[in-house]
Structure formats: structure tokens, C-alpha cells
């Protein structure tokens, strides 16, 4: 990749402050870990996304889409590609009656507050999930008995040809931590959801209760990527890790949370190598002691 040439070409239609060269990915992930991306873009419109992707394809340069970086571990050497960030630059929403339409980059926590203000119920489960709406629908995020597939009616995406396409709930193929968006590498632009009318105080009480559970049982005060492992059939990953005597275990500044063993946290200046070393240690110990293979839920990307 000729970074300088690509940079100049992108500046032909994007503002300079939205085209960053050699940008550290630790500034764009909830883990606060990650080496430099060759280029990081913050497009301001669908057309800018499309043009950036067209240039990448023309130059045979790989690109990668991120939201708030809440489920990512970027390796220490960084990313040899163009990273396209869709976060607060795509956060517009509308609420009409019980129908909510929101762009991919809005934070779930922000959207849940707006929904609560309209006394709509059904989205309480998502109020404390870190990350953006786009990431949530891509991985069919869920918590406390609710999932995105319970409320989504359709989504507008960019397909692999760069065309704007509308997908119905059935076409989205939302399943446990996956979707057609994930498998086909589509780009979420907007999500439509249908909720129900409810009582403000009742909805707020449920939301407050879930928030209390999260803040008392999860290490939200430390950088992490959320739950580190997928739930193995018939087990809970956190319990297996705790029963394997690994609570508080460390590799460098990566630590199994002392509050919730299902989380690996960054207690200082952890590197991706620290986290990957700890993940490998956990997998080895849990398999040796219980015969269960833990699969990471966090997505690991970047140059090895």
C-alpha cells in the first residue's frame, strides 16, 4: 500500500481531520490496546463510505469497519489496512410512535436513554451493553434474556458490491453472536426496531436493576472487551475459569478480573500479546481440568 498516495486521494473528498495516518488503535478500542492502523477514516456520509471503499478496491487495499471498538483486540503491530470508523459520525435517530430508526454509530447506552424517555419497552436488555447499534446487530448482541433479534424489524446495509440494500428480520439471519451481516461482511448503515408502549417508571426500574447488576458484578471500571469467551453449551465460561483457580491470574498487565472471571481486563499498559497469552493460559487450564474448549468472543484482528 502506498499510504501517502492513498491519503492524498482520500483528501479529495474527505476533511483532513477525518483521515488519520498511522493512528494508534488503542485510541479506538475499549480495551485501550492496539498498534497503528495505516489509515483510519471517519466518514461523514454514506457517499464518503462508498467512495472510500471504491478507492480501496481500485488500489487492492484491504479495509476494515469498526464502531466503538468494544469487542476488538487489535494486535500490537497494528493493522495494515484502511480502518473505517462508524461511531458518533453516524449517530442520528428518530422515534415515531413505537418505531425507532437509528444509524449504526449510536451507542446502545445513548439510544436506550432516548427510548426510555419515550416510555417504550423492550430495549432494556441493551441499556448497559457497550458499543454501537451497528456492532450489536452484526453480532446479535444480547443480555439478561434479551437479544437484538427480539426488537429489530429491518436494517439498511452496504452489501459487498457497495450497494445500499434493505434486509428484513428474516434476511438478517440473526443467531447466537452472528448474522448475515457478519458472515457476508456487510456494513450496517441504519437499523429499524419495533418496541412497545409502557410505563416510564416500570421501564426505568428494570433498566436501573440491570445497571446495578452490571456495575456490581462486572469490572466496568477497567478497560476490557466485555465477555472474553462465548458461553460453552451447558456451562458458564466465568464459572469454569473461577473453578480453575484463575481469578486474578495475570500475564503482564492483562488480568482475569477479580470481580467477574469471564472478563479479561487491562490493569495498566497491557499489550495484545499479554491478553492473548492469558487467553491461551485460560483455555489450556480449563480444558485440562474440565475438558471444555473455550472459544473467544472477543474478535482478534491485526498483523501477527
Q: What CA–CA distance (Å, rounded) separates 84 from 82?
A: 6
Using the Cα atoms of residue 18, residue 190, residue 50 and residue 79 in order, give the sign of their dihedral.
positive
Q: For residue 273, with 0-12 CB atoms within 10 Å meaning exposed, 13-18 middle and 19 or more buried, which class applies? A: middle
Q: What CA–CA distance (Å, rounded) separates 217 from 298?
A: 19
297 classed as catalytic? yes
Given the residues 224, 227, 257, 261, the one annotated as active site: 227
Q: What CA–CA distance (Å, rounded) separates 83 from 24?
A: 11
91 classed as catalytic? no
112 classed as catalytic? no
> What does the block give as the cell for 92?
442520528
What is the secondary structure of 91-103 as a DSSP string? --EEEETTEEEEE
Cα distance between the two ends of the chain:
18
Given the residues 192, 194, 297, 299, the one annotated as active site: 297
Given the residues 177, 179, 224, 261, the one annotated as active site: 177
Catalytic residue positions? 177, 227, 297
Amino acid at each position: 500500500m502506498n499510504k501517502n498516495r492513498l491519503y492524498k486521494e482520500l483528501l479529495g473528498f474527505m476533511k483532513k481531520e477525518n483521515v488519520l495516518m498511522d493512528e494508534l488503535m488503542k485510541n479506538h478500542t475499549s480495551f485501550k490496546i492496539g498498534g497503528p492502523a495505516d489509515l483510519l477514516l471517519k466518514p461523514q456520509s454514506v457517499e464518503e463510505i462508498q467512495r472510500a471503499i471504491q478507492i480501496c478496491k481500485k488500489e487492492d487495499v484491504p479495509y476494515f469497519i469498526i464502531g466503538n471498538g468494544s469487542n476488538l483486540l487489535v494486535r500490537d503491530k497494528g493493522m495494515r489496512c484502511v480502518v473505517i470508523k462508524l461511531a458518533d459520525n453516524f449517530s442520528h435517530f428518530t422515534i415515531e410512535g413505537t418505531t425507532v430508526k437509528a444509524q449504526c454509530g449510536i451507542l446502545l447506552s445513548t439510544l436506550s436513554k432516548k427510548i426510555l424517555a419515550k416510555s417504550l419497552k423492550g430495549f432494556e436488555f441493551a441499556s448497559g451493553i457497550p458499543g454501537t447499534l451497528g456492532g450489536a446487530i452484526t453480532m446479535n448482541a444480547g443480555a439478561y434474556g434479551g437479544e437484538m433479534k427480539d426488537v429489530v424489524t429491518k436494517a439498511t446495509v452496504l452489501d459487498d458490491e457497495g450497494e445500499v440494500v434493505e434486509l428484513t428480520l428474516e434476511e438478517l439471519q440473526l443467531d447466537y453472536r452472528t448474522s448475515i451481516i457478519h458472515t457476508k461482511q456487510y456494513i450496517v448503515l441504519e437499523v429499524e426496531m419495533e418496541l412497545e408502549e409502557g410505563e416510564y417508571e416500570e421501564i426505568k426500574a428494570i433498566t436501573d436493576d440491570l445497571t446495578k447488576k452490571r456495575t456490581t458484578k462486572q469490572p466496568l471500571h477497567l478497560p476490557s472487551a466485555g465477555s472474553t469467551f462465548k458461553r460453552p453449551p451447558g456451562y458458564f465460561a466465568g464459572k469454569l475459569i473461577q473453578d480453575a483457580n484463575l481469578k486474578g491470574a495475570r500475564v503482564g498487565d492483562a488480568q482475569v478480573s477479580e470481580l467477574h472471571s469471564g472478563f479479561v481486563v487491562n490493569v495498566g499498559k497491557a499489550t495484545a500479546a499479554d491478553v492473548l497469552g492469558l487467553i491461551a493460559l485460560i483455555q489450556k487450564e480449563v480444558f485440562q481440568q474440565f475438558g471444555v474448549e473455550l472459544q473467544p468472543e472477543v474478535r482478534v484482528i491485526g498483523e501477527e
